[in-house]
Structure 1
Amino acid sequence: MVLRQSAAYVKKKMGPRYSLFAKMNILILVLFIPIIILFTYSNEIATNTISKELRGSNMKQLSFLSSQIDSRINQTIDFVITFSKDPNVEKFNGLNIWDDLYDRMQTRYVVQEKMMLQSGITNIWPVTYTVYSQQNKEAISNSKDTIKYDEAYLNDNMTGAWTYGDGRESVPDDQQSFHWFYTDSLGHQGALKGSNLVVQASFGHENIENMLDTYKAGGQGDPIFYRQGEAPILNRSASKELASELVAFLDGRQLDGTEQEVVRLGIRAIW
């Protein structure tokens, strides 16, 4: 009897306190729910904003890299056009009726020296220049290899545009070079007329690698140079496994214009 009375007394005393404690917990929970919702929403907004800023920054950096490559190529084009009008270059393609052996050697030396100086201005973008005299059937170049006059080779490559490769067989898994052939025949860049002067500009994939390495050194990502149907040009520290996965993905896409997409390769996300 005493025990029952004691239990009833405890319930009577604890009842209001327990009810107040429960109400406080419920109130705290109710207050926390909108805070959690607001925090989740704010975090999502912040994540999306940061992601958008990163994509925008990456696009600007890639556009800048592309403009740098275009600038180097345009500088090469400007030099070739100007160089083709150099008096010594024109003399190399002339009849040279009154020139003796020393004069011809001196002309070749001056032309070759100018090509070597131009190529050595920037170590990051070396270019091989070759001057062909269709009239004299001769060639002169700043290349380490001996270049011989080959009219069939010139006819095959007189497209008036930059090409990747020059039609010659290459070693398997070896990267091609970029080539541009310019002739002094006004308005006829796609054909030879019998007495043309032709200037060839060529640069290897190493030039692109140098630009990609510089880009990556700035902490801007892991860039590759891709063209559908061709082996990609990678920066020198790129993962070949991830690059192969990315190339396989890109080969299956119809690329048109400029676009951005996050692609997950292995355990990494590529922007």
Structure 2
Amino acid sequence: MKQMDIFRKILLTMVGMLIPIVVLFAYSNKENVSVIEREIKSSSLHKLSFFQSQMDAQIYQLNTNMLTLVSDVDILRYVIRFDEDPFEATVTRKSLEKRLLHLSLTSPWNNRTAIHAPMRKEAVSSDAYEIYNPKRLNLLNRKTWLFSGEPDSPSTWKFTKFMSEPKKAAGDINKVNMVIESQFSAMNIQDMLDTYKLGSSGNPFLWMPEPDRIIGNRTAKPANLEMITNQLGDISLGERGSATFKLQSGEEVLLTYVSMPQLNGYIVDYVPLQNILSPIFKNTYIFYITCIMLLITACIAAFLLYRHVQVPLRKLNTGVQSIKQGNYSARITGITTSEFDQLFVRFNQMAEQIQKLIENVYEEKIRVRDATLKQLQSQINPHFLYNCFAHIVHMSDLGYNEGITAMSHNLCDYYRYSTRVDKPNVLLEEELKLVESYLEIQQIRIPRLTYTMEIPDEMYGLGFPRLLLQPLVENAVIHGIEPYFSADTIRIRGAVTEQGWEIWVEDNGPGMTEQAVRQLTEQVETDDFLSADSYGLRNVHQRLHIGYGPQSGLRFQALPGGGFRAGIEIYNRKELEAN
């Protein structure tokens, strides 16, 4: 398990100390906000309830005035008398107008009271301008006040209530003696809302769901009121309550409401939470900024310690690991004036001495490897030469002089090519020419033999070990083609891979079983190779191991439709290109 450095330890310690403090503060802050919100709700509900009682008192006074007029005997005598003197009727009418005016003035609200006499086809009002019109009278004796007015003209908004006598005859204009009408302007409510707002930080308004009208204070923003009422319409409202909404600007508000049954509406007040909770939020920001500054200070201290202790130790560890992995040229650079300078200087001196010793040993190993490669190459060359002489003897017995001449010329070219020990590596193009000469010799022996070469152009210029491909071709001809009359094709194919290069030699002979392929692979890997026929394969595999590392070597595969292929895979691509 990887140990944590001192930089991470200091940071984790600081974070571990700050987390409980931040969590405790956040919890305390949340509780404080919750308590304040509850107190705001309670206070706002009390204020709204008091405001509701004030409005109810004014409406109750208007209702009382109407009841007084309904039970007045003089008024009843006036509305049902028809035989009185016109002068006396006029005097009575003026007296009633004066009385209605006095009743209207008893209320601080701007209101109007009227008496409608269906039997006399007359109307008397407190403003002396009433004209009898039975079509607009509502004789149902509703307990609530009716709202009317133009939607886009708040100055025309008003509330009206009718009271008929007798009550049992309500609904039939021909059976009632009189109808009392009381009316007041919505501006009265707006004036009260303005007064309420002067002593509060809220924004009160009256909302009537039917017919969806809003009477707000004169400083309220209509867009905010409309957005709040739209949200109120989506929830179930009781007699009183509170909720939290967001305005169109994204500002969060705390809303409280109480019902106003007589007006079929709700008195609503909303307060921006930001204005009330801003001191708490300010303290919260200061606390968090302080915590961040403490954390930054801890980071700076940890970074200084990390830079002057951890970084030098890491450089030293990296240098040791590089030497351990075989990079003896590794040196520690970027030395600064610190206590580690002397240690770095000693490490560089030690690494330099180790590099010199390793280079001497490596040079000696290269000389030994070159000697081994030359020895293996000398073993392959006689092996091919013996086979060629055997072919010549065979053709001499048959009297095939042209074949002997062609084979002799090809053998001469081959021998001239293979005896250049001073140049162990050649271009792949030269090695392919040698293979082509060999296959032409074999075509003299086996007329049915055909061959193809599919090598990418970019591979012709590659450096390639001498006499490395010819043993694979020879093995394919002798063991895959010659013994079987149905076998007649040799295919040589090259390819570029991500790791390096590969060349495959395929024949269409009967092939080998999977078990035989595994056995052949195991024999090539072992030191004791018992099969004399495959001696050349063993030498090729050893040369690839020595020249290009343990990952390179020979690979064998049995083809699905019959046949066998042997391939050279070289993974050390850079070394191959360098050759």
Superposed pair shares fold, TM > 0.5: yes
Task: Find out whether 1:132 has 2:132 as its counterpart.
Answer: no
Note the C-alpha offset of 1:239.
Answer: 1.1
Q: Deviations over 1:69-110 (max 9, x none)?
A: 22222221111011222233223213152x323322221122
Q: Secondary structure at the match of 1:242?
A: helix
Instruction: Give 1:213-232 correspondences, 5 Å limit.
Output: 213-228=194-209, 229-232=211-214
Residue type of the alignment partner of 2:244: V
Q: Deviations over 1:22-50 (max 9, x none)?
A: 99x95x87666544433332222111101
Q: Provide the residue aligned with 1:249 in structure 2.
A: 231
Instruction: Give 1:189-268 correspondences, 5 Å limit.
Output: 189-228=170-209, 229-251=211-233, 253-257=234-238, 258-265=240-247, 266-268=249-251
TM-score (norm 2): 0.38
Consecutive unaligned residues of structure 1, counting only runs of 5 or more, are 1-18
* Aligned-partner Cα distance in 1 for 2:64–2:182: 11
* Aligned-partner Cα distance in 2 for 1:59–1:237: 21
Q: Provide the residue aligned with 1:40 in structure 2.
A: 26
Task: Find out whether 1:180 has 2:164 as its counterpart.
Answer: no
Residue type of the alignment partner of 1:224: F
* Aligned-partner Cα distance in 2 for 1:263–1:63: 21
Task: Find out whether 1:112 has 2:97 as its counterpart.
Answer: yes
- Kindly indicate whether the alpha-carbon contact (under 8 Å) linking 1:181 and 1:199 is maintained by their aligned counterparts in 2: yes
Q: Deviations over 1:133-159 (max 9, x none)?
A: 111110011136x321122322xx222
Structure 1 range deviating more: 240-249 or 29-38: 29-38
* Aligned-partner Cα distance in 2 for 1:193–1:96: 16
Distance change in 2, residues 1:230/1:37 (3 Å): closer
Aligned residues: 240
Distance change in 2, residues 1:244/1:39 (3 Å): same
* Aligned-partner Cα distance in 1 for 2:133–2:187: 26
Q: Secondary structure at the match of 1:219?
A: coil
- Kindly indicate whether the alpha-carbon contact (under 8 Å) linking 2:160 and 2:182 is maintained by their aligned counterparts in 1: yes
Q: Secondary structure at the match of 1:202?
A: strand
* Aligned-partner Cα distance in 2 for 1:220–1:74: 29
Residue type of the alignment partner of 2:72: D
- Kindly indicate whether the alpha-carbon contact (under 8 Å) linking 2:164 and 2:176 is maintained by their aligned counterparts in 1: no
Greater share of residues in strand: 2
- Kindly indicate whether the alpha-carbon contact (under 8 Å) linking 2:146 and 2:161 is maintained by their aligned counterparts in 1: no
Distance change in 2, residues 1:181/1:140 (3 Å): same
Highest RCO, 1 vs 2 (Cα 8 Å, sep ≥ 6) = 1
- For residue 130 of structure 2, the aligned residue among 133, 147, 151 is 147
- Kindly indicate whether the alpha-carbon contact (under 8 Å) linking 1:128 and 1:143 is maintained by their aligned counterparts in 2: yes
Q: Secondary structure at the match of 1:223?
A: strand
- For residue 47 of structure 2, the aligned residue among 53, 58, 61 is 61
Note the C-alpha offset of 1:233.
Answer: 0.9
* Aligned-partner Cα distance in 1 for 2:40–2:176: 55
Note the C-alpha offset of 1:193.
Answer: 4.2
Instruction: Give 1:14-25 correspondences, 5 Å limit.
Output: none
Q: Secondary structure at the match of 1:180?
A: strand
Q: Deviations over 1:109-135 (max 9, x none)?
A: 221112212222233x22211101111
Q: Secondary structure at the match of 2:41?
A: helix
Q: Deviations over 1:42-73 (max 9, x none)?
A: 22211110111101111222222222222222
- For residue 141 of structure 2, the aligned residue among 149, 160, 172 is 160
Residue type of the alignment partner of 1:240: P
Distance change in 2, residues 1:205/1:91 (3 Å): same
- Kindly indicate whether the alpha-carbon contact (under 8 Å) linking 1:135 and 1:194 is maintained by their aligned counterparts in 2: no
* Aligned-partner Cα distance in 2 for 1:241–1:219: 21
Q: Secondary structure at the match of 2:212?
A: coil
RMSD across aligned C-alpha pairs, in angstroms?
2.7
Residue type of the alignment partner of 2:101: M
Q: Secondary structure at the match of 1:37?
A: helix
Note the C-alpha offset of 1:165.
Answer: 3.8
- For residue 67 of structure 2, the aligned residue among 81, 86, 91 is 81
Q: Secondary structure at the match of 2:180?
A: strand
* Aligned-partner Cα distance in 1 for 2:126–2:197: 31
- Kindly indicate whether the alpha-carbon contact (under 8 Å) linking 2:101 and 2:126 is maintained by their aligned counterparts in 1: yes
TM-score (norm 1): 0.77
Q: Provide the residue aligned with 2:37 in structure 1.
A: 51
Q: Secondary structure at the match of 1:260?
A: strand
- Kindly indicate whether the alpha-carbon contact (under 8 Å) linking 1:93 and 1:136 is maintained by their aligned counterparts in 2: yes
Q: Deviations over 1:198-237 (max 9, x none)?
A: 1001112112212211211121511111122422111112
Distance change in 2, residues 1:242/1:206 (3 Å): same
* Aligned-partner Cα distance in 2 for 1:50–1:81: 46
Note the C-alpha offset of 1:267.
Answer: 4.5
